[in-house]
Amino acid sequence: MDQNLKVILQQLEAEKSINRETLLEAIRSAIESAARKGVTHAAHVTVEMDPDTLTFKVFEIREVVEKVSEPMEQIALDEALELNPGVVVGNRLKVPTEPRDFGRIAAQTAKQVIIQKIKDAERESVFEEFRQRTGELVTGVVKRLSHGNVFVAIGKAEALLPHREQSPRENFRPGDRVRAYVLEVDKGPRGAQVILSRATPELVRSLFELEVPEVYDETIEIMGIAREAGNRTKVAVRSNDGNVDAVGACVGMKGSRVRAVVEELSGEKIDIVRWSDDPLELCANALNPADIANMTLDEESRAILVVVPHDQLSLAIGKRGQNARLASRLIGWNIDIRSDEEVVEAPPQAEGGAEESAALEPTSEDAGGAEEGVALEAASEDAGGAEEGVALEPTSEDASGAEEGAAAQEDAVGEAEAGPAQDVSVESPAQPNDAAGPNGDGS
């Protein structure tokens, strides 16, 4: 065998990351395919190769019989005993043969077999490499965009970042460097199919392991992550060392550690929450910085009723309910947030005697019933309730009733007894949609 073949094998082994045994098997298969075209008649042909000298021998596989009826597939027992004294009738014997010189077609066939075997081996090598890297961070370069999907070149593989796994904050262009989480690796007809993600909560975990040494060595443990990609993430952490503050270590000096994670996520806000085995304490930490007046735990339905001051309601709920929603995912309990004014029972009506909660909306079918239901919300203790955003608008037709409605009353019952009957409409301040959620340590 030509000495250059050894050099070629070494180059392929280094460039394609394919082991020597696989390359030798590709060459053996190619020679075997060419040898089938080189024998004078159709036969079962096999090739054996010496891995050191790279020399090969061609054999025909024939069945040992007493009397030969098929010369291309059988061999007589007498001839077989000369090749192998221990052979018996019925055995299959490898008979050495000399193929004709390989022609153009045989050489082309051998070439195609070698190329295909090397491609298959390379795809298998890439698949095994990324299968072991599932759940890790990888860095690549954006190669192309197609229908919202991003194709990323990572070494010798081309990974896919689907549109559903991208953050709404991010826009990619060809040539951009991107760091992503290896979500899954499948074996497709064209090789390994690597699926990346920038929206999974595990990406945040991996970034903290990269930026915070205490998380990497498990001194600090991340107990849970609730994320809405592109908007906000809540991370619950616990320290396994009493001398290490979990939240402080994740935040870093002047927020340096958490800021690095925020920048990698294109400005996504991050709240770092101290973990607790007590659901009520964990719920209070998750809703921080909103002040909490009272909490009630219902273990059967796994729900927590949280009562907050009226001026803290929008802060506790967050923009479009985001803060409460992430807190519920983080602790694994349903959270019902209400203001203290909603849970205070209103005084009984003068005539009907029925009591309604201030949190309930009017359910009467006629307009009069609706005005009565709304009027019950006017049971504020003093005029300070009006300063907190509750507007008292007198709806009486006469001017004297309007003046009495504008004055601060000690309670709604006293107002009903003073002068002619009048309807007081109380409008609770709407929860602003643009109210900012709680400022996290990483906001």
Residue 195: strand pairing partners: 160, 184
pLDDT tens for each residue of 388-405: 333 333 333 343 333 343
Instruction: Write down which residue in 70, 89, 122 finishes a domain.
Output: 122
Q: Cis ω on the peptide bond leading into residue 289 (within 30° of 0)?
A: yes
Q: How far apart are CA 251 and CA 208, in angstroms?
A: 10
CATH number for the domain spanning 186: value is: 2.40.50.140
Task: Please count the helices (runs of H) and the strands (runs of E) in the chain.
Answer: 16, 17
Residue 277 shares a structural domain with residue 210:
yes
Q: How far apart are CA 326 and CA 231, in angstroms?
A: 11
CATH number for the domain spanning 13: value is: 3.30.1480.10
- Any domain includes 438: no
Tell me, what's the pLDDT at 42? 54
Q: Is the pLDDT of residue 229 over 70?
A: yes
Tokens matching residue 197:
């993600």
CATH number for the domain spanning 335: value is: 3.30.300.20
Residue 235 shares a structural domain with residue 286:
yes
Residue 246 shares a structural domain with residue 335:
yes
Residue 106 shares a structural domain with residue 138:
no
pLDDT tens for each residue of 152-181: 999 888 899 999 999 998 899 999 999 999
Residue 223 shares a structural domain with residue 190:
no
- Any domain includes 262: yes
- Any domain includes 24: yes
Residue 114 shares a structural domain with residue 89:
yes
Residue 117 shares a structural domain with residue 139:
no
Tokens matching residue 243:
């001398």
Tokens matching residue 265:
């996520």
- Any domain includes 432: no
Count other C-beta atoms under 10 Å from residue 99's C-beta: 18
Instruction: Write down which residue in 70, 100, 122 finishes a domain.
Output: 122
CB 258 within 8 A of CB 252: yes
pTM above 0.75, yes or no: no
Tell me, what's the pLDDT at 172? 92
Domain count, the chain: 4
Q: How far apart are CA 226 and CA 87, in angstroms?
A: 72
Residue 232 shares a structural domain with residue 322:
yes
Tokens 């949190």 locate to 359
Q: How far apart are CA 217 and CA 146, in angstroms?
A: 40
Residue 48 shares a structural domain with residue 106:
yes
Instruction: Write down which residue in 77, 100, 122 finishes a domain.
Output: 122
Residue type, 430: A
Residue 244 shares a structural domain with residue 193:
no
Q: How far apart are CA 211 and CA 260, in angstroms?
A: 7
Closest by CA to 74, choosing from 87, 85, 65, is 65
pLDDT confidence band for 34 (50 / 70 / 90): confident
Q: How far apart are CA 199 and CA 191, in angstroms?
A: 25
**Domain range spanning residue 267?**
201-340
More confident residue, 69 or 217: 217
- Any domain includes 345: no
Residue 396 shares a structural domain with residue 300:
no
Closest by CA to 374, choosing from 384, 364, 383, is 364
Tokens matching residue 23:
């390359």
- Any domain includes 349: no
pLDDT tens for each residue of 101-155: 666 777 788 888 888 888 888 888 888 888 888 999 999 999 999 998 999 999 8
pLDDT tens for each residue of 348-357: 443 333 333 3
Tell me, what's the pLDDT at 164? 93
Tokens 């007081």 locate to 424
Count other C-beta atoms under 10 Å from residue 364's C-beta: 12
Count other C-beta atoms under 10 Å from residue 359's C-beta: 15
Residue 181 shares a structural domain with residue 218:
no
More confident residue, 22 or 328: 328
Question: In angstroms, what CA-CA distances link 426 with 148, 215, 311, 341?
Answer: 49, 52, 16, 13
